[in-house]
Amino acid sequence: MKTLIRNASVVLPGSIENIDVLIENDSIALLNPPPEISADEVVDASGLWLIPGVIDDQVHFRDPGLTHKEDLTTGSRACAKGGITTFLEMPNTKPTTTTLEALEQKLAVAAEKCCVNFGFYIGATPDNIQVLKTAQRTPGIKIFIGSSTGSLLVDDQSALERIFAETSLPICAHCEDESTVRANSERLGGGKTWADHSQIRDHQAAIIATRRAVELAERHRHRFHVLHVSTAQEVEFLRTTSDLITAEACPHHLLFSIEDYDRLGSLVQMNPSIKTTADNEALWQGLLDGTIDLVATDHAPHTLEEKRQPYPKSPSGLPAVENSLALMLNEVNRGRCTLQQVVAWMCAAPAKVWNLHGKGRIQPGYDADLVLVDLNRKETILNEQQVTKSGWSPWHGVTLTGWPVRTWVLGQTVFQDGRIFDDVRGREVTFDR
Ligand code: DOR
């Protein structure tokens, strides 16, 4: 099967060019093919931009065990709509992904259910070092240094030392210091309002844990990725770290602040918590100057019913995969960044950080995971149109300019003009390492 995409502005690694792109089966075959080339489908993409499929390296799809919130079918459909062609999923499911059996089970179910490409982290526990040493079909090890949703937590120094010393896969971590969070919570009587959430999971909790994890990684010469950076202090600290260390920011930490609790309450209750507008600015600065490598969602759906419980019963987390690219394209239109920067942060960098084979750029031989983007399209995010099983978005009612209009996964159209093609299946990611 050959598809010829004509007349798009194609975002290449170093430039944007008006060239045709030929897809053959699951790969990008040719850039600028000869005019007489034939194809099964010719797509006229005049006025549109062609970018590599987005790679989201931090999602929670709740499958198995918490599938009333999301599952691998609904989560991957939401990805297709949002222009995400590959996701890497977190281990805090039920059961947790902390054994080789659980990892293989997830991979087998994903192959049946997912319409985009997939990979799954292996979760660290205080005593599964053998698993962490032998796992291969995974991008890396996830450590919760500080508890969040679920029971995964490794706070003990000797367990952390062993993980950094004895394993070889890249490690990523949720960095919020457990004892700081507990002390804050006690001081505030457990917290009464959602604004208290940012006092409990405060700036100190984030920077203490990030420093601690980075110190371990640097000392053991271990590749380490800081998930969801939320504070100006972390950005400043990350400017001083070695190239073993990479980091990411999430749309909610870039775009929401504590000023939004009055309007949105638990809908913006997240771990790490949202911080101040000064932190928003510092995170943007960190992205723009290369201190922060990439943008990922931490898509963490809960039902509205669960979210409506009073604080602190309300769970932390918000869904975002179907809107993250549009949120960033809207920032391109606002002049905050360029389309090439968005492609670097959401496509090329996650492929590089996780050594994903054949992903993240438009180049012959690479996988035909592609997205056509209409930078002028205006659409309003509405809860009732969300594909995530949780059925809501904290950006409900927000109009964005710049949307994905067509998504290909391995050469197959999986989303086009509002329709998701449910017969498409993605593939397990593989690694260059
Ligand atoms: O707010 C969050 N919720 N942060 C996380 O890191 C985990 C997530 C979840 O799984 O609900």
- Which of the residues 177, 279, 298, 369 is marked catalytic? 298
Render pLDDT for 356-390 as a digit per residue (tens, 0 to 9).
999 999 999 999 999 999 999 999 999 999 999 99
CATH at residue 36: 2.30.40.10
Q: What is the atom index within ligand 1 of the atom nearest the CA of 228?
A: 6
Number of domains comprising the chain:
2
Answer yes or no: do 135 and 19 share one domain.
no
Give domain status of residue 427, yes or no: no
Render pLDDT for 172-218 as a digit per residue (tens, 0 to 9).
999 999 999 999 999 999 999 999 999 999 999 999 999 999 999 99
CATH at residue 206: 3.20.20.140
Q: How far is CA 116 from CA 6, 33, 59, 196, 208, in A?
A: 24, 27, 13, 38, 36
Give domain status of residue 189, yes or no: yes
Short-list 309, 331, 315, CA closest to 400: 331
Give domain status of residue 404, yes or no: yes
Ligand 1 center–CA 299 separation, angstroms? 8
Predicted local confidence at residue 153, as pLDDT: 81
> Using CA atoms, how far apart are residues 350 and 102, in angstroms rounded to an integer?
24
Residue 149 has pLDDT above 90, yes or no: no
Ligand 1 center–CA 394 separation, angstroms? 15
Answer yes or no: do 121 and 166 share one domain.
yes
Ligand 1 center–CA 148 separation, angstroms? 6
Answer yes or no: do 44 and 61 share one domain.
no
CB burial string 67-105: b at 16+ within 10 A, e below: bebbbbbbbbbbbbbbbbbbbbbbbbbeebbbbbebbee
Give domain status of residue 392, yes or no: no
Domain limits at 200?
54-353
User: Average pLDDT in the 221-229 region?
Assistant: 98
Answer yes or no: do 282 and 373 share one domain.
no
pLDDT category, 152, cuts 50, 70, 90?
Answer: confident
* 298 is a catalytic site residue: yes
Ligand 1 center–CA 174 separation, angstroms? 9
Q: How far is CA 2 from CA 23, 45, 233, in A?
A: 6, 16, 50
Q: What is the atom index within ligand 1 of the atom nearest the CA of 301?
A: 11
Pocket of ligand 1 (CB under 6 A): 60, 92, 148-149, 174, 270-271, 298, 300, 316-317
Give domain status of residue 11, yes or no: yes
Query: Can you give the pTM of this predicted structure?
Result: 0.98
Answer yes or no: do 261 and 157 share one domain.
yes
Answer yes or no: do 406 and 324 share one domain.
no
Question: Which residue from 148, 210, 303 has its CB within 8 A of the most atoms of ligand 1, so it is best to mutate?
Answer: 148
